[in-house]
Structure 1
Amino acid sequence: MTWLAHPPIVVPFDFSPASKEAVGRAIGLLGDPSGVHVIHVLGELSPAEPGEVWNTVDHATRTKHATEAMTKELGNEVTLKVLFGDAGHQITDYADQIDAKLIIMPSHGRSGILRVLLGSVTDRVVRLAHCPVLVLRPEKAKS
């Protein structure tokens, strides 16, 4: 077992193939899915959102739907958690709460204006985390 292979490991999940691969890497490192905590962070709803206005959508229903979708994608052997707010802060706060030994997350490889407009959750997590962060970079296309 390497120094990286100690539970718990936190893996942020955004339903992309890269984040699913990160979950697989975490399970592979530990050899056991029970030490992997998969976290999905949802943004807060605007007070003008129709679901907010008509009181048909709340944190409980959003959590239920996100958890069901994550279970469908990943199964139920890993720990699943849904949080709300700023993704970078929520990921690092959760890692601190459970005394995570590692965070594994993909970088989507955005650059230029897309990075400026969308920000980089990975950058924020690397800056804020109190444990090591393993960033999985996208493979470059071969010419």
Structure 2
Amino acid sequence: MPLFASDNVLVPTDFSEQSHQAIAQAMESFGDATQLHVIHVLSPLEPTQPGMVWQTVDQQTRTDHITALFHQTFPGEAERPIKFSVIVGNPSSEIIDYAGSHSIDLIVIPSHGRTGLSRFLLGSVAERVVRFAPCPVLVVRR
């Protein structure tokens, strides 16, 4: 009996230890019957960044680098039903938009557990996703 209607699970990653644990837990908990979507959201390039000024970095170079890093980090990914995507934009907005456009049934998102001033200054992507996601969200803590 499936857990959700179409068994689409989304795990956003920033390549931190917490996001590696979230991906591992999603694969372990939801198994092979699930379509696992893993996304990484890059911030947009600013025209004043050195790579842009010297024309050594562009969006495609960054996307290729992140994709290669994902395949290095998860070498057995080819045998599993994982769909990996790199998106440029605001992390919480892009995660929510991806979930809505790909009929995601569950978002498994890691939380870094920041509190106080660091949370105020950096914000909380997980909190915004929990508030505005079109589906249930499972927040994974250490």
- 1:44-94 C-alpha deviation (Å, 9 max, x unpaired): 111101111122211111000001001111233321110111100001111
Q: Is the Cα contact below 8 Å between 1:42 and 1:84 reproduced in 2?
A: yes
Aligned residue identity for 1:137: R
Match of 2:99 in 1: 95
- Is 1:80 the counterpart of 2:84? The answer is yes
| 1:6–1:30 contact (8 Å) kept in structure 2 | no
- Structure 2 CA distance for aligned equivalents of residues 33 and 63 of structure 1: 28
Alignment length (residue pairs) = 138
Q: Tell me, what secondary structure is at the counterpart of 2:62?
A: helix
Query: Which residue of the partner structure matches residue 141 of structure 1?
Result: none
Counterpart of 1:117, as a letter, is L
Contact 1:4 1:29 in 2 (8 A): no
Task: Give yes or no for contact 1:27–1:33 (8 Å, CA) kept in 2.
Answer: no
The code of the aligned residue for 2:41 comes to: V
Deviation at 1:128, TM superposition (A): 1.5
Match of 1:62 in 2: 62
State how 1:1-143 maps to structure 2 within 5 Å: 1=1, 3=3, 7-32=7-32, 35-75=35-75, 76=77, 77=80, 78-138=82-142
TM normalised by structure 2 equals 0.89
Change (3 A) 1:41 1:17: same
User: Which structure 1 residue ranges, 4+ long, deviate > 2 Å from structure 2?
Assistant: 1-7
Are 2:9 and 2:34, in contact at CA under 8 Å, matched by a contact in 1?
no
Instruction: For 2:39 and 2:28, locate their aligned partners in 1 and report how far apart those are by CA, in whole Å.
Output: 18
Structure 1: unaligned runs, 5 residues or longer: 139-143
AA partner of residue 73 (structure 1): T
- Which ranges of structure 2 fall in alignment gaps of 5 or more residues? none
CA distance in 1, matches of 2:100, 2:5: 17
Shift of 1:33: 7.9
Identity %: 46
AA aligned opposite 1:16: S
Determine helix, strand or coil for the equivalent of 1:57.
coil
